[in-house]
Structure 1
Amino acid sequence: MSQILLFFGAIYGMLAVIFGAFGAHALKKVLTEEQLKSFETGVKYQMYHALVLLIIGFNIPQPSALLGWSFMLGIFMFSFSIYGLVLSDVKGKKLRFLGPVTPLGGLLLIIGWALLLYTISQTVHG
């Protein structure tokens, strides 16, 4: 699982830099201030959690699959649904079905953090 976490951490980190630059340069001219803020929120959360994946992958010898997938799917559902909502809104055809995906992704991220807390507590007390 560690190798998968490291792989996804690197991919998500790289994409966060690309999307951040895209938002700051190309999208700045076409997005409203509110849309740009939402897009930046997606990028920030993606980068924060990409770093978490790398930290887990490098420091927890055998992380549980549930821990890893909570973060990996949470990142995808949270950040990428925000990108989809913002970009589709710019085109005038907002993909409303993505609206409920964002909080589900957030819930998975919260579950990931809870599982990380549990994993750490087992390591310290185990």
Structure 2
Amino acid sequence: MNRLAAFAALIGFLGVAFGAFGAHALDGRLTAEGADWWHTATLYALPHAAAVMAIALSGRTGLLRSGGWFMAVGACIFAGTLYSMALGAPRWFGAITPIGGVSLLVGWALAAISSLRPSN
């Protein structure tokens, strides 16, 4: 069982679903700021879902796989807090968003370090 691949697929599915929902069902219902948050959340969720899926299917372990998990969790935290605020969650959720961003950065850093090491 490849839990990382399943998680990546879920992030991708939700990114597409939420993107479409925002473009159609929420059109004109969000504030300008909320619409920007929604767009940014989708913009970050979808490519990270693809990156995590690539890592999950690479068969690699160690730092690269850990990087994939950091990206997956980071995408959920980053996008999730932005989607939540767009739908009316308190603005203090914005203080959580950078935790997701840092997790994304850690994931990419681990992927970079892993690429400089022999395959495992």
TM-score normalized with structure 1 length: 0.85
Moved more, 74-83 or 95-104: 95-104
2:33 and 2:86 in contact (8 A); partners too = no
User: Taking structure 1 as reference, are residues 56 and 63 closer, same or farther at Cα in structure 2, changes over 3 Å only?
Assistant: farther
Q: Which residue is equivalent to 1:23? A: 22
Q: Which residue is equivalent to 2:117? A: 122
Runs of at least 5 residues in structure 2 that lack an aligned partner in the other structure? none
1:74 and 1:106 in contact (8 A); partners too = yes
Distance in 2 (alpha carbons) for counterparts of 1:32 and 1:22: 15
Provide runs of 4+ in structure 1 moved above 6 Å: none
Runs of at least 5 residues in structure 1 that lack an aligned partner in the other structure? 89-93
1:56 and 1:63 in contact (8 A); partners too = no
Letter in 1 for 2:100: G
Helix, strand or coil at the partner of 1:29: coil
Q: Deviations over 1:37-71 (max 9, x none)?
A: 21011011000100011110112422445323311
Q: Which residue is equivalent to 2:83? A: 83
Helix, strand or coil at the partner of 2:97: helix
1:49 and 1:71 in contact (8 A); partners too = yes
1:5 and 1:53 in contact (8 A); partners too = yes
User: Taking structure 1 as reference, are residues 4 and 32 closer, same or farther at Cα in structure 2, changes over 3 Å only?
Assistant: same
Q: Which residue is equivalent to 1:91? A: none
- Residue-pair matches, total: 119
2:70 and 2:107 in contact (8 A); partners too = yes
Q: What is the alpha-carbon root mean square deviation over aligned residues?
A: 1.9
Where do 1:1-126 residues align within 5 Å?
3-64=2-63, 66-88=66-88, 94-123=89-118
TM-score normalized with structure 2 length: 0.89
Distance in 2 (alpha carbons) for counterparts of 1:73 and 1:97: 20
Letter in 1 for 2:98: P
